[in-house]
C-alpha cells in the first residue's frame, strides 16, 4: 500500500473534493494498469435551463455514476463508481439505473470517500470485485 493512499488529500470531504482526491490517487497509480482508462462523467452540477435541455437532447442521462473505469475484469465490461458524501443518498434515478447497468454487465459501486473508491477500483483490477452499492 502506498503512503499516498493514507494521506488526507481530499480536503473538506465534499463529493467534489473526494472525487478530485480519487483522481489524484488514480493519476499516481494508473501506471500499474496501463490498459485501464478511468474518467469522470460530468453529469451533475447546476446548469441553466437552456444548457440542461441541450444536454438532455444530446443524451445526458440522470443517475449515471460519476466515474467510469474502462477495463474488462471479473466477468464485467467495466466499472462505474458513484461518489457520495458520508451522508449523501443514492437518488431514486440511481436506484433504478444501477441494477440496469449491472444487468448489462458492469460493476457498480457507491463510494463514500476517495479511499473507498480507490479500494473498490483496486479490488476490481486485482480480480476481487464484490458488489457494494445501496
Q: What is the mean pLDDT of residues 47-63?
A: 86
∠ CA 69-18-36, nearest 5°, is: 15
Residue 16, all three cell numbers: 467534489
The structural domain count of the chain equals 1
Residue 69 lies in a domain: yes
CATH of the domain at 96: 3.40.1350.10
pLDDT of residue 132: 53
Supply φ then ψ for residue 51, to 5 degrees: -65, -45
Residue 87 lies in a domain: yes
Give the CA diameter of the chain: 46
Helix (H, G, I), strand (E, B) or coil at 47: coil
Residue 4 lies in a domain: no
Confidence of residue 3 (pLDDT cuts 50, 70, 90): very low
| Boundaries of domain holding 41 | 10-125
pLDDT 10s digits, 102-129: 999 999 999 999 999 999 999 999 998 7
SS3 content of the chain, % helix, strand, coil (to 5): 40, 15, 45
pTM of the model: 0.84
Answer yes or no: are the C-beta atoms of 71 and 36 closer than 8 Å: yes
CA dist 58 and 91 (Å) reads 22
Amino acid at each position: 500500500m502506498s503512503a499516498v493512499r493514507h494521506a488526507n488529500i481530499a480536503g473538506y470531504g465534499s463529493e467534489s473534493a473526494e472525487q478530485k482526491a480519487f483522481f489524484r490517487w488514480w493519476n499516481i497509480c494508473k501506471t500499474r494498469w496501463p490498459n485501464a482508462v478511468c474518467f469522470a462523467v460530468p453529469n451533475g452540477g447546476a446548469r441553466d435551463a437552456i444548457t440542461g435541455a441541450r444536454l438532455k437532447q444530446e443524451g445526458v442521462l440522470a443517475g449515471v455514476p460519476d466515474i467510469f473505469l474502462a477495463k474488462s475484469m471479473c466477468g464485467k465490461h467495466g466499472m462505474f463508481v458513484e461518489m457520495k458524501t458520508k451522508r449523501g443518498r443514492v437518488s431514486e434515478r440511481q436506484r433504478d439505473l444501477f441494477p440496469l447497468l449491472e444487468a448489462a454487465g458492469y460493476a457498480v459501486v457507491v463510494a463514500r470517500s476517495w479511499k473507498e473508491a480507490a479500494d473498490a477500483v483496486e479490488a476490481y483490477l486485482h480480480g476481487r470485485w464484490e458488489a457494494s452499492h445501496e
